[in-house]
Structure 1
Amino acid sequence: MKYGIIGAGAMGMRYGVMLQENAGVDVDFIDTWEPNVEKIREQGGVSVARDHENRRIIPINIYYPEEYAGHPDVWIVFKKQMQLADEIERDTKAGIFHDDQYCFSAMNGMGHFEKLEKVFPKDHIVCGSAMIATRMDGPANVDFMGAEGTEVMHMARYNNEKPDATVQGIFDDFTAAKLGPVFSDEWQGMCMSKVVFNAVTNTLCTMFEMQMGQFIEYDGVRAMSEQLFNEAFDACERAGIHLIETRQEETDSVITVSQAYKYHYPSMYQDFSKGRPTEVDYINGYIAKIGREHDYVCRTHEFVVHEVHMAEMMRKYHQPQGNVADQPAEAEA
């Protein structure tokens, strides 16, 4: 099958490049960030490293929506939650969507599938969640974090039906791309499991400007995680959402995943450090919203949403710290 990537950022590049390089399928990239598009064209592709090593230029096809005339079988969407509605409107006006196409997305947070449903039939939408860390350090410059073969992701149909031939084909291509796909029976619990995880690691690492490895050095991480997870699980249970992991498994995963990506700054901090709005309203804020809709107040999640927004406000007084993962080891003490 042929794929089109909407959003040539960190994760869009990760999926598109791995599909192109490992699965050998045709991939086109659509992006609206002009510095990124023009840099890729200038240098003949995207600069890709894995864990800061073996950096190379990988040629890719990249287009603005208005100049794209291709017809991929599947769109893969990776935009920031707050940018998606405008992206869909621009892409629709450009005429790049067609009735026979499927759409896959594993964006952070929640709220995107309702927007995608305005363009694609419900049975053509494939929901995803990805435990895959990627950095974008500048236009046309990405770093795949984690050893090859450690990628893990989940996918389920938006209508919760069994895979049809196209969805099975997507799964097979993702497998060949070494993205580590796993089928789930129900999309909402699958995606909320990732939201609940991000509500701990992304949010707390951003507030304290920490890498994930630094985060788990603190002795109170388990207690903090359990407090946030318990609120999230309580809210989801009242809403009839059944997460694919238990409370204990979510807590344990904070440690194991942070150890695997110890030099990684979560995507929320990457946005925060570059002066962009964070997605905290679509992560902790979404959990709090579910709770209030079912007569349960997630007080800790509501509090940390305010804390992140306060940290965003404080950027006008001082700049976030640099990425110490890029500094010489002796400078990290």
Structure 2
Amino acid sequence: MEETYLTVRNVLTMKIAIAGFGALGARLGVKLQSAGHEVIGIDGWAAHIAAINTDGLTVVHEDNAPKKYYLPVMTPKEVDGEFDLIILLTKTPQLNRMLTDIQPIITPKTKLLVLSNGLGNIEIMAQHVARDQILAGVTLWTSTLVKPGEIHTTGSGSIKLQAIGESDITPIVDAMNEAHLNVATTNDVLTAIWHKAGINSVLNPLSVLLNASLAEFGTASNAMDMALNILEEIREVGATRGIKVDINAIIADLIKLIRPENAGNHYPSMYQDIKNGKYTEIDFLNGYFAKVGRQENVPTPFNTLVTRMIHAKEDIERVKLAKQQETFEI
């Protein structure tokens, strides 16, 4: 089924920047632009920026023909102006640097919504802006960056978000829902973030280690057993921080996500990062839980092992890519 972007305007147009204009940022960007909002992408990958600014962004949704979308993308230090909303999709390890670089475009009226995977994002944002400017959320939208300037998308998704301080976020929710982003508010976003982190701590690293899409992971006879090993540790760690981790709810979402008609054909961002020789966000997923476990004397052998294996995989793939580059240059 072709993904539909065209909508009928009935909310105020917003000026929106998406910081971290990779696979997911690009998907959200074209949906928001097609709903009538002024959207600018911010990213640090020169080849990706050049491809979009020169030839447009190519979007392939499932088995449909490619479509082109045109919207400006620039580096953090090139962007200027004032924005109603900045959506942060930068990886957590790079979030502090991104916020530092885009500080000139953040006014007291700007709201910042973080949708990045991992834990610790809110604390980083609070170092740069007032709490009343911070929105935190989780998303089940997916996308794959195939090459500079081209993304492939499957299925649909949703977003849950919450204002961390005292702020009216109704206009933002309305604007995002005008773009069919399926946004709902919650009064307990931290639980939702831990829930999403639990999902990602299963699917992201195991897809890498098994070299599998989500659906392929689901065909393993012990897939949910491995998931339980990871999630039971996360539940114990969460209890030390007053977070209730509902394992049954996470397993139910995992089962939905791995279906081909949903996100089953998707390779998670960590898989894509590994293949591109990038460092992953493992230290803000399984590694985060392992670190808190050590602090709270909660054993986390599975999360610790997964973290170490992903770091090893990072090293192996980066060496491979370096050797390939050397061969190409010769």
- TM-score, with structure 2 as normaliser: 0.88
Aligned equivalent of 1:69? 80
User: Separation in 1 of the partners of 2:40 and 2:319?
Assistant: 41
* 1:57 match: secondary structure: strand
In 2, the alpha carbon distance for the partners of 1:280 and 1:67 equals: 30
Give, as a single letter, the amino acid of the residue that structure 2 aligns with 1:118: Q
| Residue identity opposite 1:72 in structure 2 | F
Please report the TM-score for the alignment, with normalisation by the length of structure 1.
Answer: 0.87
Question: Structure 2 CA distance, aligned partners of 1:78 and 1:125?
Answer: 14
Match of 1:253 in 2: 253
**Alignment correspondent of 1:126:** 135
Which of 187, 190, 193 is the aligned partner of 1:188? Answer: 190
Task: Deviation per CA, 1:170-227: give whole Å up to 9, x if none.
Answer: 1111211111112111221111110011100111111111111110101111211111
2:227 corresponds to which residue?
225
Structure 1 residue 87 corresponds to structure 2 residue 98: yes
Q: How many residues align?
A: 306
Stretches of structure 2 lacking an aligned partner (at least 5 in a row): 1-13, 322-330
Are 1:138 and 2:150 counterparts? no
Looking at structure 2, the residues matched to 72 and 54 of structure 1 have their Cα atoms a distance apart, in angstroms, of 33
Question: Aligned ranges for residues 1-333 of structure 1 at < 5 Å?
Answer: 1-21=14-34, 23-43=35-55, 45-92=56-103, 95-146=104-155, 150-159=156-165, 164-165=167-168, 167-243=169-245, 246-259=246-259, 260-315=262-317
The structural deviation recorded for 1:140 is 1.3
Kindly provide the CA deviation profile for residues 211-257 of structure 1, in whole angstroms up to 9, marking residues without a partner as x.
Answer: 111101011112111111111011101210134xx211211221211
Say which is worse superposed, 204-213 or 79-88, in terms of deviation.
79-88
In structure 2, how many angstroms separate the alpha carbons of the residues matched to 1:113 and 1:35?
A: 30
> Aligned equivalents of 2:269 and 2:96: distance in 1?
20
Identity %: 25
- Report how far residue 264 of structure 1 moved: 1.1
Q: CA separation in 2, counterparts of 1:313 and 1:64?
A: 27
Partner SS, residue 67 of structure 1: coil
Contact 1:239 1:290 in 2 (8 A): no
Q: From the superposition, tell whether residues 272 and 173 of structure 1 become closer, same or farther in structure 2 (CA, over 3 Å).
A: same
Three-state SS of the structure 2 residue aligned to 1:143 is: strand
Asked if structure 2 preserves the Cα contact closer than 8 Å seen for 1:151 and 1:178, the reply is no
SS, match of residue 53 in structure 1: coil
Question: Aligned partner of 1:69: which letter?
Answer: D
Determine if contact 1:230/1:247 at 8 Å carries over to the other structure. yes
